[in-house]
Amino acid sequence: MTLILWRLAGLFLMLSLLAVGSGNAVIPEMQRTVVRDFHWMTDRDFLDLFAISRAAPGPGSLIVALVGQKAGGLLGAAVATVSMFGPSCLLIHFAASLWHRYRDSAWRERAERALAPVAIGLIFASALALVHGTEHGFAAYALTAAATLVLALTEWHPLWVMAAGAGAGWLLGL
Amino acid sequence: MARLPPLAPDVTPGVAPVVAAAPALRDIAWVFLSIGMQSFGGGMTAWIRRDVVQRRGWMSEQTFVGGLALAQITPGANGVNLAVFVGTTLRGRLGALAALSGMLLVPVIAVLALGAAFTHVRDVPGVESAMAGLGAAAIGMNVANGLRMTRRGIRKPWAAVLMLAIVAAVGIAGVSLLLALAVAIPLALWLAGRAEGVGS
In terms of domains, do B140 and B167 share one? no
Q: What is the residue range of B87's domain?
A: 25-153
B14 within some domain: no
Across the interface, which of B68, B110, B140 has its CB nearest the CB of A146? B140
Q: Is A35 exposed, middle or buried (0-12, 13-18, 19+ CB in 10 A)?
A: middle
In terms of domains, do B149 and B160 share one? no
Interface test with B, best of A90, A112, A153 (most B CBs within 10 A): A112
Q: What is the pTM of this model?
A: 0.88
Mean pLDDT by 10 residues, chain B (200 residues): 52 64 94 92 89 94 95 93 97 97 95 83 77 88 92 91 94 87 94 73
**What does the alpha-carbon distance between residue A108 and residue A102 come to, in Å, rounded to a whole number?**
6
pLDDT reported for residue A99: 96
B12 within some domain: no
> How distant, in Å, are the alpha carbons of A119, A149, B73, B75 from that of A17?
20, 36, 11, 5
B7 within some domain: no
Across the interface, which of A115, A145, A166 has its CB nearest the CB of B66? A115
pLDDT digits (tens, 9 = 90+) for A137-148: 888 999 999 999
Which of residues A50 and A83 earns the better pLDDT score? A83
B19 within some domain: no
Listed as own residue / partner, the contacts of A74-78 with beta carbons closer than 8 Å and 24 or more positions apart are A74/B112, A75/A5, A76/A4, A76/A5, A76/A8, A77/B108, A77/B112
In terms of domains, do B47 and B66 share one? yes
pLDDT reported for residue B63: 95
In terms of domains, do B176 and B139 share one? no
- Residue B46 to chain A, least CA–CA distance (Å): 10
In terms of domains, do B118 and B196 share one? no
Torsion of CA B92, B98, B101, B103, to 10 degrees: -100
Task: Please report the DSSP string for A94-138 in residue order.
Answer: HHHHHHHHTTTSHHHHHHHHHHHHHHHHHHHHHHHHHHHHTT--H
In terms of domains, do B41 and B136 share one? yes
In terms of domains, do B82 and B56 share one? yes
pLDDT digits (tens, 9 = 90+) for B161-181: 999 999 999 888 988 888 999
Task: Say what the ipTM of the complex is.
Answer: 0.90
Strand-pairing partners, residue A20, are B75
In terms of domains, do B200 and B175 share one? yes
Contact across the interface for A145 and B140, Cβ inside 8 Å: yes
In terms of domains, do B160 and B147 share one? no
In terms of domains, do B83 and B128 share one? yes
In terms of domains, do B109 and B68 share one? yes
| Backbone torsions φ then ψ of A56, nearest 5 degrees | -80, 155
Across the interface, which of A56, A117, A131 has its CB nearest the CB of B107? A56
B69 within some domain: yes
Across the interface, which of A77, A88, A103 has its CB nearest the CB of B76? A88
Contact A53, A60 (CB under 8 A): yes
Count of structural domains within chain B: 2
B150 near A CB under 8 A: yes
Question: In three state form, how does the secondary structure of chain B look?
Answer: CCCCCCCCCCCCCCCCCCCCCCCCHHHHHHHHHHHHHHCCCCCHHHHHHHHHHHHCCCCCHHHHHHHHHHHHHCECCHHHHHHHHHHHHHHHHHHHHHHHHHHHHHHHHHHHHHHHHHHHHCCCCCHHHHHHHHHHHHHHHHHHHHHHHHHHHCCCHHHHHHHHHHHHHHHHCCCCHHHHHHHHHHHHHHHHHHHHHHHC
Q: Is B142 exposed, middle or buried (0-12, 13-18, 19+ CB in 10 A)?
A: buried
B87 Cβ neighbours under 8 A, 6+ residues apart:
B28, B32, B95, B96, B97, B98, B99, B100
Mean pLDDT of A18-26: 77
**What does the alpha-carbon distance between residue A29 and residue A83 come to, in Å, rounded to a whole number?**
16
B177 Cβ neighbours under 8 A, 6+ residues apart:
A20, A21, A25, A122, B170
Q: CA-based angle B80:B81:B87, to the nearest 5?
A: 90
Contact A118, B68 (CB under 8 A): no
**What does the alpha-carbon distance between residue B200 and residue B191 come to, in Å, rounded to a whole number?**
14
Across the interface, which of B84, B153, B192 has its CB nearest the CB of A92? B84
pLDDT reported for residue B8: 53
B40 within some domain: yes
A23 near B CB under 8 A: yes
- Give B 168-187 residues with CB within 8 A of chain A: 169-172, 174, 177-178, 181, 184-185
A34 near B CB under 8 A: no
pLDDT digits (tens, 9 = 90+) for A86-138: 999 999 999 999 999 999 999 899 999 999 999 999 999 988 888 877 667 88
Across the interface, which of B63, B75, B110 has its CB nearest the CB of A56? B110
Strand-pairing partners, residue B75, are A20
Q: What count of Cα atoms within 13 Å lies in the side-chain half-sphere of residue A28? A: 1
B143 near A CB under 8 A: yes
- In residues, how long is chain B? 200
Contact across the interface for A166 and B137, Cβ inside 8 Å: yes
Contact across the interface for A85 and B68, Cβ inside 8 Å: no
B11 within some domain: no
Task: Find, in chain B, the residue whose alpha carbon is nearest to that of A13.
Answer: B76
pLDDT reported for residue A112: 93
In terms of domains, do B34 and B118 share one? yes
B162 within some domain: yes
- Give B 107-136 residues with CB within 8 A of chain A: 107-108, 110-112, 114-115, 118, 122, 126, 129-136
Interface test with A, best of B78, B123, B128 (most A CBs within 10 A): B78
Contact across the interface for B170 and A125, Cβ inside 8 Å: yes
A83 near B CB under 8 A: no
Domain boundary among B119, B135, B153: B153
pLDDT digits (tens, 9 = 90+) for A23-79: 677 888 899 999 999 999 998 888 888 878 877 888 888 999 999 999 999 999 999
